[in-house]
Structure 1
Amino acid sequence: FIIGAYFEEAYKKKELTHFFKASAILALAAMVGVCINLSNLYHTYEYSKETMRGKSELKQEGNAANQTSSGLDRDYITNWSYGIGETLTLLVPNVKGGASSDNLSQSETAMEKANPMYSSIYSQFPQYFGDQPWTAGPVYVGAFVMFLFVLGCFIVKGPLKWALLGATIFSVLLSWGKNFMGLTDFFIDYVPMYNKFRAVSSILVIAEFTIPLLAIFALKEILGRPEILKLKENRTGVIVSLVLTAGVSLVLAVAPSVFFSSFVTAQEMAALQQGLPAEHLTPVVTNLTEMRKAIIASDAWRSFFIIAVGCFLLFLFLQKRLKASFTLVGIVLLCLVDMWCVNKRYLYDEQFVPKSKRTEAFVKTQADEIILRDTAPDYRVLNFVGFPSNTFNENNTAYWHKSIGGYHAAKLRRYQEMIDHHIMPEMQDTYQAVAAAGGRMDSVDASKFRVLNMLNTKYFIFPAGEKGQPVPVENPYAYGNAWFVDKVQYVNNANEEIDALNDIRPTETAVVDARFKEQLKGVTEGYKDSLSTIRLTDYEPNRLVYKVSTPKDGVVVFSEVYYPGWQATIDGQPVDIARADYILRAMNVPAGEHTIEMWFNPQSIHVTESIAYVALALLLVGVMILVWTKRNKFTGKTEAK
């Protein structure tokens, strides 16, 4: 937007030559900046291809329109779409209630309107009733800041105003996501990397920057040239600014229904219809509406008075009853108090705790203590405490163990697909089977959790032990770090590969995509007997060493996630790594006793870091030349005087 605005100005002034020279210098500076950070940028981009931000190889029948060419699904991208009416939070923070974590019973304003008969119900309803699944709080830039921003659209001149205004509008339109799918679809399909982001509402960070910046320019114009507001064309701007900010706030305070037709979400209505007798439904909905209207009105009056105080300060300045410096201090304090009070709703005193309390979040349980006595170099743990909602939303387990679960915003896509297709269903079966057997694993059918076994899940953590403490259960059926297979089954695509895991025994058959046939030298029959052994002898996250012994050539499957860039050798000789069982590694191993080593140290890291150091050197040389040039100019001027 800035480039476009300055290009238009250069075109009108016939200064395109200067514009292109300046742009070339900026492009060169940007290139140096990118090169300095190239290693991080490049490898983040490469990693994204393998994650949920990358394209899935699975074909979703009947839902092709939801898939994107190289990123997240459309529904996933637009799940956190800002509502069109919700955009008013830029002016009135609680126009949609506030945060999902706050329930109605926590709002004194709402409870003043509550019917005591239904007080127990209101603790189950959040204050927030917007379009998003949930939110930690609204996007608010300040009431008087919004007034100055709108006023700035009239009194600020120059290309930067149009750039900031355009970027603001564009940011808001993109934040609407599924509520404005024409623009959203265009960006998802044609703008590079846009489909890597999951919450379109986060694009409002642009508006949170551009709105205050244009407001500052407007205030600068007013304080520098008070007469600017007395011009006839700018009086219209003042009136429009008051109507769009103070006027809208006043209407929201007096009659919120003018902007919103409903104050109860469809999900809430469905829950009420199921849980309440018919005769109580209408009174509860009516009361909920009144409570939420009260929350909106309270904040709307707040925004109205903030704008009124700010305008009064400007009026005193224009009447020469207040100096520019005092006016500026007054407006700064007004905006600071405004933002401070709203921010303290979500970042309050109780959230600030000593460091010791924070570290106590990773308290070692008795179950952790028992599991950690196992000194094997590499095994995994699956935590059933809080299953199913908690297993893939907590990282406490990973603090102590190599975890099957845990949360990551950019989880490997293939692993997430394994979670959806196999791990979660197996967890359900395992939980029921182990609970029914009272924790006695010798009476549990191991075929119910073959994928968990191939992931070397050596321990389960179950809830409800003595005194409510979690209980560790050792899984004797885990396949270990690696194993020989009897057979290699080649498939043609990802769907066949992931579906085949429903039927095969991973210790006997390895399912391999046909694209990896060459890496396994086309082998279809493996070799496996009691004489074939493989043992992990050294483990580091980026380096693994195995000792193997086999009387015949065979195919080994490793319980390690396949990822491009890993290299391997057998007795120092390079060997290919194939992908097996959708997410694991496989290798063709010759007869005899060998040492297999795998490591991750891609050449791209060294190349990109070398480029970064060269770019950094260029930057430093450029700074030295600039300082030397400026010094010589200064010295020359001094001598001339």
Structure 2
Amino acid sequence: MKGNEKLTSATETVGSASAPAGAKLSWRKIWPYAAVVLLFVTISLAYFYPASFDGRVLFQGDVAGASGTAQDVRDWQEQSGEHSYWTNSLFGGMPMYQIAPSYPSTGTLQTIQDVLTLRKPVYLLGTYAWMLFALMGGFFLFLRSLRVRILPSVIGSVAWAFSSYFLILIMAGHIWKLTALCFIPPTLAGMVWVYNGKRLAGGVVMAFFTALQVLANHVQMSYYFLFVMFFLVLAFLAEAVRTKRVRSFLLSTGVVIIAGLVGVAVNSTNLFHTYQYGKETMRGGSELTLKQSGNVADQASHENKNGLDKAYITQWSYGIGETWTLLVPNVKGGASGYLGYNEKAMNEVNPAYAQTIGQMNQYWGDQPFTAGPVYVGAFVLFLFILSCFIVKGPVKWALLAATVLSILLSWGHNLMWLTSFFIDHFPLYDKFRTVSSILVIAEFTIPALAVLALVEIVRVGAPILNRERAGWITAAVLTLGASLLFALVPSVFSLLSGEEEMMFREAAGHPEAGAIKTALTDVRADIMAADAWRSFGILLACGALLLLFLKKKLQATPMLIGVAVITLLDLWTVDKRYLNDEHFIDPALVSQRAAPLTEADKQILADKTPGFRVLNLTVDTYNDATTSRWHRSIGGYHAAKLQRYQDLIEHQLSKGNREVVNMLNTKYIIVPGENQQPVPMLNPDAYGPAWPVSSIKWVKNADEEMTALDTGSLSRSIAVVDERFASDNLRKLPALTDSTASIRLTEYTPNKQVYETSGAQAMLGVFSEIYYPHGWTATIDGQPASIIRANYVLRALELPAGQHRVEFRFDPRSLHITEAIAKTALVLLLLGIVASVLYPFVLRKKRPTA
């Protein structure tokens, strides 16, 4: 039997009869899948060879930047065995919900994930290779759910997994984002199986992988793929109406909803607290209406009180012309970085301008900066365009609609009318920034449709050349023709960014400006042309294989193997530009770079006084967490910090308001000393961990509360309190005249603080701990007490006269409720898995024997 006869259409009618559920398994059926697993393991390990075998690791920017975060929680858990859901290591204090979301209910699920990705019981795929394996395995399941044969499914899996963006994510340290993407294709596979009639197995698969992708805690990626699911459901509905199987469609839809709810419920603890916390972060907006003229960051934070500002959301928008990176990765230069690092490109530069050109950016797109382009493979894109003409059925239209939407929305402020519509009218869309990342949908749909086109070519054979002539011509013009155009005329697009265009216009009078501009555009033209020729060659090579098959000079299987190899090499070599063996270093060096222990740190660590904080002025204070590794920092690094603290940074701390630094109990300030070495300075004016105040300054709103903290307005003896926290007792509280009144910290852990108070009269005590309205409780001598907010971000309590024991504890009741829901859902999921495994055997026993 010829290779092309072994392949069936990948677009069979939705809901058609499937193979008998009770069919016997045999080695003949199992070994192809075992071979695929072995192939995926080999490819995954090979990409990271030899680094992963040498024990070398990546220095990932985002991971390193946040490496010190929550060190106090880790230390406390090691010391006591107790896990804290609050950390004091950064920004004065914040919940752990978006730092390291780990809950008892998800432990079993994480173990199963580790087994499936070959990290348990043997750590076979290590720190990075497992992600490539999971990407390929998940996409393979999706294509198999569409009834694509094994070999083309392998091709599609490789094309998906090695799309450049995913390797760039690994390099940047966006591991949770990539983990979510690993489990999205098999989630969709489960949904497709449900609509194809395999409701029990499909529902279990969908619920299980929904649980895994949500466990990854990157809601943005899961949110984007809801669009894909929506379009697929519309496709299934259209097919159900056409075939008069609406009742079956409705039943399957019910299963899909239940499966999704179970998968989500398994993560209910994380999801609820992410939602709750999100309202208190920058995603939730600020109460302030104050603006600082010229302060863009402040305006971006406050113009939209219900979510992120549009300018902030669309800051990273993919350029319309930049979309050609899907075909030619260097159409805008690739990644940001000095041209001087590109020795090959610099060889042709006039030596007189080499130094200047070497300091220019290799990337000339209009994003602020980029770690690399989104490249899906030249021939993969050719097949995708061809699929728009030759692939039939509603699934094609669903995937095509998702592709178009993804590309249009990735343009962000370059197509602002559409972006604004989604920000204004689609729930949660305004909570996510970096709109260019929605291209992950196109990275999914393009290889999927490319494989469906490949299958259709093999199924139909030579007649498809004449039958779909318009499709072949369109695909050739948009890929082969475009590559040739870019190679011959690279200046078809501007070779300068918008900022550079402005810079050269302003420097028009400079005698050498024109020559420098010409030298710069020449070197960039060479970079673009070289990559365009590369894509052109790949298209010719794969096109030749396809032509040989259609002319019956080559059978399907060798043709497909040839396409697979060329596609892998194409993507592999581009990926290696952004993640290669040179990026891997010894783990000890990573630790040193991520958490350097300076002499200043050692001196501060010798101070065992509990509860004080540190301000480090030798680093980018509010975008660096290295200080958090060793101390409780008033700075840090996190994308979802509390909005109140962000307000404090913008309006007070960034202005150097010393009294606000003091109220945060900043005992040490690290400053540059001789040779720029960090030196600790003792701050004798720090207010301490808690203090009684003489009087209360009542304010009407957030603006007045913030203004009351301005330099010259704040002191240790006054508490600034919003009127919303007023009570009759507080309003009647007399001025404190007892000079012996005191509040002493006696016990300090991340989730618990204990104080002893003493005073001859009732008073208001202010505690230098960050106010958070969800989860913190206070008791005075064991009796519940109401926490109020003071000085915009701190906690305060009304304290009775006499000696008392005050305790703050972070143990949200919501944690216990959501954990009960999550564990119940997990039991249902595990029962579903068992039922789906046993069901075929039950059917086999019921089948009548001859």
Give RMSD over aligned pairs. 2.0
Distance 2:773 2:729 in 1: 16
2:566 maps to a residue whose letter is: L
Match of 1:148 among 383, 407, 412: 383
- Give the deviation of 1:204 after TM superposition: 0.8
Match of 2:601 among 368, 374, 387: 368
Distance 1:529 1:512 in 2: 21
Partner of 2:470 in structure 1? 236
3-state SS, counterpart of residue 501 of structure 1: coil
3-state SS, counterpart of residue 42 of structure 1: helix
Match of 2:811 among 593, 596, 601: 601
Matched, 1:74 2:310: yes
Matched, 1:450 2:659: yes
Matched, 1:172 2:402: no
Partner of 1:209 in structure 2? 444
Distance 1:611 1:398 in 2: 34
Partner of 2:559 in structure 1? 327
Q: Is the 2:357–2:519 contact (alpha carbons within 8 Å) kept by the matching residues of 1?
A: no
- Give the deviation of 1:9 after TM superposition: 2.1
Change (3 A) 1:213 1:518: farther
Change (3 A) 1:550 1:228: farther
Q: Is the 1:148–1:219 contact (alpha carbons within 8 Å) kept by the matching residues of 2?
A: yes
Partner of 2:767 in structure 1? 558
3-state SS, counterpart of residue 93 of structure 1: coil
* Worse-matched range after superposition: 517-526 or 359-368: 517-526
Match of 2:722 among 513, 526, 529: 513
Partner of 2:175 in structure 1? none
Q: Which string of whole-angstrom CA distances, capped at 9 and with x for unpartnered residues, describes residues 236-275 of structure 1?
A: 11111111111111111111233x2x32223234555677
* Worse-matched range after superposition: 315-324 or 15-24: 315-324
Match of 2:698 among 490, 498, 511: 490
* Worse-matched range after superposition: 513-522 or 448-457: 513-522
Match of 1:96 among 332, 342, 359: 332
Distance 1:616 1:16 in 2: 31
Q: Is the 2:328–2:531 contact (alpha carbons within 8 Å) kept by the matching residues of 1?
A: yes
- Give the deviation of 1:570 after TM superposition: 0.3
Q: Is the 2:335–2:370 contact (alpha carbons within 8 Å) kept by the matching residues of 1?
A: yes
Equivalent runs, 1:371-382 vs 2, <5 Å: 371-382=604-615
Distance 1:632 1:482 in 2: 67
* Worse-matched range after superposition: 15-24 or 72-81: 15-24
- Give the deviation of 1:19 after TM superposition: 1.2
Partner of 1:587 in structure 2? 797
1:76 maps to a residue whose letter is: Y
1:542 maps to a residue whose letter is: N
Size of the aligned set, in residue pairs, is 611
* Worse-matched range after superposition: 67-76 or 171-180: 67-76
1:89 maps to a residue whose letter is: T
1:507 maps to a residue whose letter is: R
Distance 2:363 2:733 in 1: 58
- Give the deviation of 1:626 after TM superposition: 3.4
Q: Is the 1:113–1:294 contact (alpha carbons within 8 Å) kept by the matching residues of 2?
A: no
Distance 1:107 1:600 in 2: 52
Change (3 A) 1:46 1:480: same
Work out which structure has the larger RCO, using CA pairs closer than 8 Å and 6 or more positions apart in sequence: 2
- Give the deviation of 1:321 after TM superposition: 2.3
Matched, 1:346 2:556: no
Partner of 2:522 in structure 1? 290
Match of 2:282 among 40, 52, 70: 52
Distance 1:349 1:64 in 2: 39
Q: Is the 1:488–1:525 contact (alpha carbons within 8 Å) kept by the matching residues of 2?
A: no
Distance 1:240 1:6 in 2: 28
Change (3 A) 1:324 1:19: same
Distance 2:274 2:444 in 1: 26
3-state SS, counterpart of residue 595 of structure 1: strand
Match of 1:19 among 226, 241, 249: 249
2:442 maps to a residue whose letter is: A
Q: Is the 1:66–1:75 contact (alpha carbons within 8 Å) kept by the matching residues of 2?
A: no
Matched, 1:225 2:460: yes
Change (3 A) 1:252 1:523: farther
1:591 maps to a residue whose letter is: A
Partner of 1:86 in structure 2? 322
Q: Which string of whole-angstrom CA distances, capped at 9 and with x for unpartnered residues, describes residues 2-40 of structure 1?
A: 112222222233322211111111001101111111111
Distance 1:13 1:556 in 2: 72
- Give the deviation of 1:225 after TM superposition: 3.0
Q: Is the 1:109–1:295 contact (alpha carbons within 8 Å) kept by the matching residues of 2?
A: no
2:688 maps to a residue whose letter is: G
Matched, 1:612 2:822: yes
Distance 2:461 2:788 in 1: 73
Q: Is the 1:96–1:130 contact (alpha carbons within 8 Å) kept by the matching residues of 2?
A: yes
Distance 1:525 1:285 in 2: 72
3-state SS, counterpart of residue 392 of structure 1: helix
1:332 maps to a residue whose letter is: A
3-state SS, counterpart of residue 320 of structure 1: coil
Match of 1:394 among 608, 613, 624: 624
Distance 1:52 1:228 in 2: 58
Q: Is the 2:771–2:789 contact (alpha carbons within 8 Å) kept by the matching residues of 1?
A: yes
Distance 2:442 2:290 in 1: 36
3-state SS, counterpart of residue 279 of structure 1: coil
Matched, 1:415 2:648: no
- Give the deviation of 1:397 after TM superposition: 0.9
1:618 maps to a residue whose letter is: L
TM-score, normalised relative to structure 1: 0.92
Identical amino acids, percent of aligned pairs:
50
- Give the deviation of 1:550 after TM superposition: 1.0
Change (3 A) 1:178 1:149: same
Q: Is the 1:519–1:577 contact (alpha carbons within 8 Å) kept by the matching residues of 2?
A: no
- Give the deviation of 1:525 after TM superposition: 4.5
Q: Which string of whole-angstrom CA distances, capped at 9 and with x for unpartnered residues, describes residues 563-592 of structure 1?
A: 012110000110100111111111110101
Partner of 2:150 in structure 1? none
Matched, 1:193 2:403: no
Change (3 A) 1:65 1:184: farther
Distance 1:297 1:134 in 2: 22
Change (3 A) 1:337 1:576: same
Q: Which string of whole-angstrom CA distances, capped at 9 and with x for unpartnered residues, describes residues 434-469 of structure 1?
A: xxxxxxxxxxxxxx500000011110111133x543
Match of 2:742 among 508, 533, 537: 533
- Give the deviation of 1:528 after TM superposition: 5.3
Equivalent runs, 1:456-467 vs 2, <5 Å: 456-465=665-674
2:391 maps to a residue whose letter is: V
Which runs of 5 or more structure 2 residues have no equivalent in the other structure?
Answer: 1-230, 294-298
Q: Is the 1:520–1:578 contact (alpha carbons within 8 Å) kept by the matching residues of 2?
A: no
Distance 2:335 2:488 in 1: 23
- Give the deviation of 1:64 after TM superposition: 10
Distance 1:398 1:586 in 2: 25
Change (3 A) 1:612 1:532: same
Distance 2:672 2:300 in 1: 40
Change (3 A) 1:64 1:41: closer
Distance 2:500 2:744 in 1: 56
* Worse-matched range after superposition: 351-360 or 26-35: 351-360
Change (3 A) 1:626 1:348: closer
Q: Which string of whole-angstrom CA distances, capped at 9 and with x for unpartnered residues, describes residues 26-63 of structure 1?
A: 00110111111111111111111111111211115697
3-state SS, counterpart of residue 331 of structure 1: helix
Q: Is the 1:229–1:238 contact (alpha carbons within 8 Å) kept by the matching residues of 2?
A: no
Larger Rg: 1
- Give the deviation of 1:66 after TM superposition: 7.9
Change (3 A) 1:195 1:595: same
